[in-house]
Structure 1
């Protein structure tokens, strides 16, 4: 969809014309969601008194193979978020969207099972500036980048963050097949690569590589 906006911008936007939203930022963060995992997996351990744990492997695949669009809250988020990609609507190119890779490093704020990663976005409705980067500063918070606006009163922001009121877009969660037990301050680091599918331009391939507790993991999924 964004590719269509870029094409329309390049063909028809007049000098001084406006694009709304004017920018977008994609975030990610590790999450815990015990109730969701239990409802999808642990249910099979006792189905009305019958042990159907032989279904666990299939249940995990069916429930967590693909990303899930659902609503979580700030209580599910284990760390400060990481900025995966910032997009300026006036300057972004289609080639930039074909593949996005970002390295991340998180420190868990609590002891909890890590069930996966959540993704969400903010969009801003603002007039363009001569130097867009001068309006938005980045600062380091616990190893992750967050966006800080120098004058919030001048910018209208639509946020789909877990701590904000729910929206139509909710959040996108990539669940692990098996949770990782985290201790407080335990490090989770790795990289995420988002690649536009060659089969369907509206599909997104999500490749996650991450390590924690001296163990390495890989999760591949497709956002359809």
Structure 2
């Protein structure tokens, strides 16, 4: 098989555990390269997997309305206190489409997936992160989304794959040669080869004797984040039980660990550890302070 195209991506990218089936098909059916570049482990004549690369990201968001709708709503339902209904709600991740104005920090890349080379298994990872607040406000949640690339063959840069001798990436490891992800809403003119005269025909036959040259191909990408057009995947919100007050320049450092659910094969468990430091803390460095690392567990289901 020359090309395998699959829309395997789920909420939080790897929810639903569909990726291992695609990777299994890759191993069984995708055309193997006849020659491997000894320097970087890439090839120029193997089959193509579409998409070829994905990236998971993390940022902080300010959205008091979201927190109210999902959890605090039950504190006063038309005058009735129904707080018991909110029990456990903060332990779930939520699929939400948020505006870019809600993002209150910069973005951290937490997991890159080189789909052509990675092992045939459900991904699990652990990554550190550091986020810097872009303005003063209240951070109500961490928000995660993913970017997707369709890279044409040949893939000649070693930076698009893990170091030689490895198939997988570690959490937080960045594939450096991935081009910037497209965030602008696509228009018809962006779709190369789309011709109204085809009237539904997908292929235009070459004229007899016409030479058909294979070009370098075109990189296609899209994001599910707030900077792009909203998709059905939206983004994944991890609501904080205790929202964080931040100043411009405050840093939120920590780590995220994502594993398969111990009870449901399609679901995931996410563990977030985070610590907040403010610019004003540096001015009080001579004063001994106790810093607290917060921990929350979430089910992605």
2:159 maps to which of 108, 130, 133 = 133
Superposed displacement of residue 132, structure 1? 4.6
> What residue in structure 1 maps to residue 14 of structure 2?
none
Residue 149 (structure 2) pairs with residue 119 (structure 1): no
**Aligned positions, number:** 210
User: Structure 2 regions of 5+ residues with no counterpart?
Assistant: 1-17, 33-45, 162-173, 183-189, 191-217, 278-290
When normalised by structure 1's length, the TM-score is 0.83
> What residue in structure 1 maps to residue 56 of structure 2?
26
The structure-2 alpha-carbon separation of the partners of 1:60 and 1:112, relative to structure 1 and needing over 3 Å to count, comes to: farther
User: Structure 1 regions of 5+ residues with no counterpart?
Assistant: 136-144
> What residue in structure 1 maps to residue 131 of structure 2?
106
Superposed displacement of residue 3, structure 1? 1.0
CA distance in structure 2 between the aligned counterparts of 1:191 and 1:4, rounded to whole angstroms: 29
Q: Is the 8 A contact 1:82 1:146 kept in 2?
A: no
Q: Is the 8 A contact 2:147 2:181 kept in 1?
A: no
CA distance in structure 2 between the aligned counterparts of 1:151 and 1:68, rounded to whole angstroms: 24
The structure-2 alpha-carbon separation of the partners of 1:101 and 1:42, relative to structure 1 and needing over 3 Å to count, comes to: closer
CA distance in structure 2 between the aligned counterparts of 1:59 and 1:146, rounded to whole angstroms: 44
Residue 220 (structure 2) pairs with residue 190 (structure 1): no
Q: Is the 8 A contact 1:79 1:107 kept in 2?
A: yes
Q: Is the 8 A contact 1:160 1:170 kept in 2?
A: yes
Computing the radius of gyration from Cα coordinates, the structure with the larger value is 2
Q: Which has the larger share of helix?
A: 1
The CA RMSD measured in Å over matched residues stands at 2.6
The structure-2 alpha-carbon separation of the partners of 1:84 and 1:19, relative to structure 1 and needing over 3 Å to count, comes to: same
Q: Which moved more, 1:122-131 or 1:184-193?
A: 122-131
When normalised by structure 2's length, the TM-score is 0.63
CA distance in structure 2 between the aligned counterparts of 1:90 and 1:193, rounded to whole angstroms: 24
Q: Which has the larger share of strand?
A: 1
